[in-house]
Amino acid sequence: MKKIISLLFILNISVSAAQTPSGEWILERIDENWVSGNKIYVTNMVIHGRRGADRTIQSKSWIQGSEKSFTEYLSPAREKGTKMLKLEDQLWTYTPSTDRTIQISGHMLRQSVMGSDLSYEDMMEDTELKELYDAEVTGEDTVISRPCWVVELTAKTSDVAYYSRKMWVDKERFVVLRAYLYAKSGKLLKTTEIKNVIRVQGRWVPNVIVFKDALKEGEGTEFIIESVEFDVDIPDYIFTKAALRR
């Protein structure tokens, strides 16, 4: 009888282990869901200021793989016409009020974009997670009534915005519903929370995301994806410095 109980105990452990995927496999599913050849999306960035003084900034972005992106701010009037161009690891911004193009590099990449909780590094990030991080599944949890894998990531190299991450990944849709982003020292730098997920062209898209800079006060910044198109044709001229002044 004891042998039978022991055998059942071992069997249960084996089944449980078989049901837990590897961290690498989960990262591959996340990348498959979001990363595409080309995509275009329109977003509203709601910056929550003090005493209810919120600002909403609308923009449109064109993205080609993980190396090229172009963003144009559409409203309000104060920000309209401001543009950003990313080519590999280089970033330029153009401001119509000064008619100047400036390259953003080094420590400037960590600065806030228009007073939001997003940095220029956050705006540039569209690389496959499996290329940047090693991952380990450390548990299970529930976020917005969705069962999740808890996955902890450690950077493969030092040239990343966040050295480690703790993510809550939807088991079915492979969307990161919550993430804590850390410096190499272990200090919490930023958090993200997904409020809503929609289905677009066979992919699950988080369309309301709250970013919170852990090093500053405030209620965070809502990043709302109004529309997104995957695998669309984008003219080559979009990803040129000349397009910043068009």
CA–CA gap between residue 77 and residue 79 (Å, rounded): 6
Per-residue pLDDT of the chain (246 residues; tens, 9 = 90+): 545 444 444 444 333 444 889 999 999 999 999 887 899 999 999 998 776 678 999 999 999 987 899 999 999 999 999 999 999 888 999 999 999 999 988 888 888 888 899 988 887 776 789 999 999 999 999 999 999 999 999 999 888 889 999 999 999 999 999 999 999 999 999 999 999 999 999 999 999 999 999 988 888 999 999 999 999 999 999 999 999 988
Domain boundaries, the chain: 22-245
- Quote the pLDDT of residue 114: 87
CA–CA gap between residue 9 and residue 81 (Å, rounded): 64
- Distance spanning both ends of the chain, measured CA to CA: 80
- Quote the pLDDT of residue 51: 67
- Quote the pLDDT of residue 14: 36
- Quote the pLDDT of residue 34: 86
- Quote the pLDDT of residue 103: 93
Topology, domain 22-245: outer membrane lipoprotein receptor (LolB), chain A (2.50.20)
